[in-house]
Amino acid sequence: MIWLVLQIWIFVFGAFVLGAVLGAGAGWMAGRQPAAHGGARSGEAGNRLGGAEIAAGALPMSPPPRTANVIDDAGDDLGEIIGMTEADIRRLGLLGVRRFGEIASWTDDNIRWVEHQLGEPGRIGRERWVEQARSLFDQGAG
C-alpha cells in the first residue's frame, strides 16, 4: 500500500515537472520571457495598465484624442455598450475616455493603443465598441 502511494506521488510530481518544462518551452518558442525572470526586456515599452509588455514600435499605435479635460465630468453611461464591464469603464476613465463620441471617433491606431493599455488585443473590434458608441452617440445618448 505504501508503495502505491509513493508511486502516485512520483507520478504527480513528474507530471508537474513535465508541465512546467513544456510551459516554459512554449513561452520561449512564442518569444516571451517567463514571469520568474521578471521585468521587460530592453527595447520594450512599459506603459500598459495590465503590466505585460510588448515590443516598442511593433504596431503603429496612438492614444485617442481627449475631448474633455474636466476631471469631475461624469461623462456618458459607457455601460450601455454591450460587453463593457464596470472594470472596463474604470480603466477607460483612467485613460480619459468618458464619452460615446470619444469612442466613436477612434481610429485603428487608437483602438490598438487602447487595447494595449487594457491588455486585451482584438476585444474592442470583437465586441464592436466603436460601432455601438457611434450608434449611441447618434441617438443622442452622449
Average pLDDT of span 6-27: 84
pLDDT digits (tens, 9 = 90+) for 131-140: 999 999 999 8
Average pLDDT of span 85-103: 92
Greater pLDDT, 43 or 127: 127
Q: Look at residues 26, 33, 65, 72 and name the one whose alpha carbon lies nearest to residue 51.
A: 33
What percentage of residues in the chain have a pLDDT greater than 90?
A: 42
pLDDT digits (tens, 9 = 90+) for 51-87: 444 444 455 667 776 655 555 567 899 999 999 999 9
For the chain, the domains span 1-38, 44-138
